[in-house]
Structure formats: structure tokens, C-alpha cells
Chains A and B, each alone.
Chain A
Amino acid sequence: MRHHAAARIYASTWLALLVLTTLTFVLSLAALGELHMPVALLIATVKGALVAFYFMHLAEQRSANRIVFLMAVLVIAILVLLMYADVATR
């Protein structure tokens, strides 16, 4: 029973990743102006989270692992955002 549940989760995650990739591509053709890159990176973050939580089993592991994951995401987000804001406002 667990066997089929796991396989379904992997298949659903794979499908979601393919759909989100296609969505990213379609949105890149729309007239979003300045929002293009932030939107694309936001969807990429969702995709990365799906890989982490389901392919890498973060969802079912202990919370310490999720905290490490969250910290890495936060640190990089702060680094990149502030770097961009710094240079763009000079």
C-alpha cells in the first residue's frame, strides 16, 4: 500500500514540475515587463521545493532537516535580493 502511495507521489510531483516548467515558458512570452525574472524565479523556487519535499523526502523527515533547507533558501534570497538592490540603486 505504501508502495503505490509513494509511486503516485513521485509521478504527481514529476507532472507538476513539467507543468510548472511549461507555465514558466508560456509566461516568458507574456508582457510582464520588469516582473519577468521575479515571476520565473518564484516558480523555480516552488519547483525546487517540490523536488526537496517529495523527491528528497523532506516532507517526511525530521523538522531539523526542513530548518536547514529553509535557512539555506533564506540566506541566498537575502544575499541575491540585497545585492541586486544595492547595485540597482547606485
Chain B
Amino acid sequence: MVRPHAHWFQDIHVQTHAARLGMWIFLGSETLLFGGLFALYAAYHAMYPQAFAKAGAHSDLVLGTLNTYILITSSATMAFSLHATRSNSPKRALGLLVCTMLLGSTFLVIKGIEYQEHFHHGIYPGAHYEFADLPENGARMYFTLYFFMTGMHALHVLGGLVVLGWLAIQTHRRHLSQQSHLAHELGGMYWHLVDVVWLFLWPLFYLVN
């Protein structure tokens, strides 16, 4: 099932390039969204270097690193799923999409466990912070940034899971074909972005000391 190209594009190749370029630009804007938060982190880290190091010791390095390996692997399964669609293997593509979703869900579960652990110690964002071991302002800023940045990222993971779910349904119904599967490629790009953002969040919040 191949759709004809929209008439304002010269041909299907120009349309495909426009779609990809548009997606890269959109991902660029998403990156700038996180970029602003990274700049905030840089500023507060420069202001409170010791507090950041002490607060960073309270993150679960094992869970954080495990989540990094999980998202990297989910990017691999995503790439392989697109490859399967391109190789006219929709069953394999569906299986790999489901794998990707399972890995992404596991990431969120682990994140939830970490948040629970923080709440248990009175570590909440902003004005609700009441962690007795580290009352200083620098620690409060660190954890506020932690919740905001990993929370924003988790929302993107959730959005990515919705996109993947839709792709899985489309693949299952054979609406994506070897010839026409741009949605699979673009949806995959979004998932890879979610992985890349975490690759930078991991050192900021788990290797800071």
C-alpha cells in the first residue's frame, strides 16, 4: 500500500526528505527544551559544587545505570524493528516494537521505585523539600532539578510509549509496508531522542560525585 505524494512536492523522494528534515528540526526543538534545563543545572552546579556532590551521593547508581543500559537496548530493538519493516517482516517488526515498549515500561517502573525511595526520605521538589540529612539550599536545588529534569524525561518516555503502541497497532494491521513506513521511521526517531536525553541525564544525576 503506497500513498501518492502530496502534489506540492516534486516527487515522493522530496516529500520523504521533507518529512525527515522536519522531524530532525522538531527533535532539535525538543533538545533545546532540555537544553534550557541543562543550562539551569550548569548554573546551580557552579553555585553549589559541594552540595551537588553530596546530594548526588543519594541517587541509586545501580538503578540509574541499569536504566541507562535498558534505554540503550530499547534503542537497539527500535532500530531492528524498523529494519524488520524494511525487510518485509512485519511479525518480527511487531515483536521488536513490543520489546522496545517493555524496556521503556521497565525504565518507568525503575524510575518510580527511585522516586518512592526519595519521597521516603523526605526528598521532594522545591518548597516541599524536607530532607534532614542535607538541609542546605544547594541540595534542595539539586533535587528540584532532579525531579524536574527526570520527570520531564519520563513524560517523554510515556509519550514515546504511546507512539510505539500506535506503531505496533499499525504494524499488526499491516498498514505499514516495506514501501511505505515513514511513520515507523519518524516514531523511531522520537524514541531514540528519549534515549539520547537520558544518556546526558545519567552523568548529571548519578555520576556527579
Q: Say what secondary structure dominates the interface of chain A.
A: helix
Q: Kindly state the separation between the CA atoms of A55 and B76 in the bound complex, as whole angstroms.
A: 7
Interface size of A by CB at 8 A reads: 45
Residues of B within 8 A of A6 (CB): 83, 86
Q: Is the CB of B203 within 8 A of A14?
A: no
Q: Mark B75-91, 1 if CB is under 8 A from A, else 0.
A: 11011100100110000
Contact of B192 among A18, A44, A55, A71 (CB under 8 A): A55
Docked complex: B182-209 residues within 8 A CB-CB of A: 185, 188-189, 192, 195-196, 199-200, 202-204, 207-208
Which of A11, A44, A47 lies at the interface centre, i.e. has the most chain B CB atoms within 10 A of its CB? A44
Q: Is the CB of B21 within 8 A of A41?
A: no
Residues of A within 8 A of B86 (CB): 6
Contact of B43 among A7, A47, A69, A83 (CB under 8 A): A83
Q: Is the CB of B195 within 8 A of A87?
A: no
Q: Check: B69 CB closer than 8 A to any chain A CB.
A: yes
Given A56-B192, A84-B45, are A72 and B80 also a contact pair (CB < 8 Å)? no
Q: Check: B132 CB closer than 8 A to any chain A CB.
A: no
> Which among B28-36, B120-128, B156-164, B165-173 touches the partner chain?
B28-36
Q: Mark A65-89, 1 if CB is under 8 A from B, else 0.
A: 1001101100110011101101110
Q: Is the CB of B75 within 8 A of A48?
A: no
Tell me, rounded to whole Å, the shortest Cβ–Cβ distance linking A56 to chain B.
5
Q: Is the CB of B189 within 8 A of A65?
A: no
Which of B185, B203, B208 lies at the interface centre, i.e. has the most chain A CB atoms within 10 A of its CB? B203
Contact of B203 among A13, A24, A68 (CB under 8 A): A24
Q: Check: B39 CB closer than 8 A to any chain A CB.
A: yes
Q: Is the CB of A51 within 8 A of B20?
A: no
Q: Is the CB of A72 within 8 A of B31?
A: yes
Which of B39, B45, B199, B200 lies at the interface centre, i.e. has the most chain A CB atoms within 10 A of its CB? B199
B72 (CB) vs chain A CBs: closest residue: A17
Residues of B within 8 A of A81 (CB): 42
Q: Give the 4 A-B residue pairs with the shortest CB-CB distance, closest first.
A: A40-B203, A87-B46, A14-B76, A76-B35
